[in-house]
Amino acid sequence: MTYDVIIFGAGAAGLMCACEAGKRGRSVLVLEHNVSVGEKIRISGGGRCNFTNISVGPENFISQNEHFCTSALARYTPEDFIRLVEHHGIMYNERKLGQLFCDGSSAQIVSMLLEECRSAHVEIRTGIEADTIKKKENFFVTTGGQILTSKFLVLASGGLSIPKIGATNFGHRIARQFGLSIVEPRPGLVPLCFSGTLGSLCSELSGISIEAEVRCGKMKFRENLLFTHRGMSGPAILQISSCRKEGEEIHINLRPDIDWMDVLTINRTEKKLLSTVLEQYLPGRFVELWIQNLGETKPMNRYSLPELQHIAGALANWTVIPIGTEGFGKAEVTVGGIDTNELSSKTMEAKKISGLYCIGEVVDVTGWLGGYNFQWAWSSGWVAGQFV
């Protein structure tokens, strides 16, 4: 069978591209290897899909080429997607840091995209794996003994995170087959693991969260840090995990709203214990274990000034080195992917292979936590949908 466009992956980017191309009168086939479509949308945002952010710019993305996403984000903006959501009568709310979530369920976003695809006469086949893909003038896809041909082929098969709901390296593999280079993929928005004394401390504090500013290199995020059985998670850690390269240290400022030297100085002549002072600002269990690591807790008036400076410094700049991450099984996104140097930022078409388009998370563009990854999927999908 012959189509104008074959799209691999019925996720956020693939469905957006499909309905846009369909609206332009293209015959579009979407091939999805899962039995259902939009699985990641369904589980996103704790079931409520943080579908965009009111403020989105290239600074919210990680990529070897930080400007690559600029054009697509400017051409299909959060306002455009919000208009679509409103057109479908989906109620939503704004949470912290401009994050927009469905009031109801993420399934509403999947239904909306399917409805758009239906009205654009897009054909979607699920439970389908491609056996081979070849290109002469057109693309030839073989699947289960059938040959499908198309003028345009779109890789929208996502990243490597959460293989148990269908993530595969298909997009990277096919891109490589066509000679496109790949920026080494690694897990992003992922909990970090620690070993030794710090690992035990985290495990004992599992479930406790503290507001922190977490820094790695030039990047810093101020949000909650959550201790887990294997290390640290929470929004601040997830954010920094995407920016951090292996072996790099992380600096944690616990309660950045507090000047620890001021707090300790004010209490310097008191007989109360250091732990009693710190417990006014930090969870008791954390203080107990953290002080054990530091030495002992003494009455405040028995600390010298250099000792207090050391304690204040340790609270404001707790330096840690993770031994690794919880991997793709727990990562929300993949950092890396198809090298943006291979693609036109205006169209998402591969520069070397005419008719081949790459969109969404399969590309080396990774958003921060907060709705940015979906906005990239919508924007890149929409852009490609105007050209295929």
Give the nearer residue to ligand FAD in terms of CB position, either 11 or 191: 11
Token pair of 59 as six digits: 């600074």
Question: 12, 377 in Cβ contact below 8 A?
Answer: yes
Decide whether 102 or 287 has the Cβ nearer to ligand FAD. 102
Q: How far is the CB of 156 from ligand FAD (least distance, A)?
A: 5
Q: Smallest distance, Å, CB 111 to ligand FAD?
A: 15
Cα-to-chain-centroid distance, residue 49: 13
In angstroms, the first-to-last Cα distance of the chain is 18
Shorter beta-carbon distance to ligand FAD: residue 141 or 263 = 141
From the number of C-beta atoms within 10 Å of its C-beta (0-12, 13-18, 19+), residue 12 rates as: buried
Is 229 strand, coil or helix?
Answer: coil
Shortest Å distance, C-beta 44 to ligand FAD: 3
Closest CB to ligand FAD among 210 and 335? 335
Tokens describing residue 290? 């953290």
Min dist. Cβ of residue 68 to ligand FAD (A): 15
Question: What is the closest distance, in whole angstroms, from the C-beta atom of residue 40 to ligand FAD in the complex?
Answer: 4
For residues 120 and 141, which CB has a smaller minimum distance to ligand FAD in the complex?
A: 141
The DSSP code sequence of 6-23 is EEE--SHHHHHHHHHHHH
Q: Are the C-beta atoms of 188 and 334 separated by less than 8 Å?
A: yes
Positions touching ligand FAD (CB under 6 A) are 8-14, 31-34, 39-40, 43-45, 49-50, 129, 156-158, 161-162, 166, 168, 170, 332-333, 360-362, 371-374, 377
91 or 305, CB closer to ligand FAD?
91
Residue nearest to ligand FAD (CB): 11
CB of 47 to ligand FAD, least distance (A): 10
- Please tell me the distance from the alpha carbon of residue 237 to that of residue 265, in angstroms, as a whole number: 30
Among 183, 190, 9, 207, smallest CA distance to 113 is for 9
Nearer to ligand FAD, 286 or 374 (CB): 374
How long a stretch of residues is the chain? 388
* Residues with Cβ within 8 Å of residue 325, at least 6 apart in sequence: 186, 187, 190, 191, 192, 193, 241, 331
Closest CB to ligand FAD among 6 and 210?
6
Candidates 107, 160, 168, 75; CA nearest to 378 is 75
Min dist. Cβ of residue 165 to ligand FAD (A):
7
DSSP reduced 3-state for 267:
coil
Taking the complex as a whole, the smallest distance from the CB of residue 29 to ligand FAD amounts, in Å, to 12
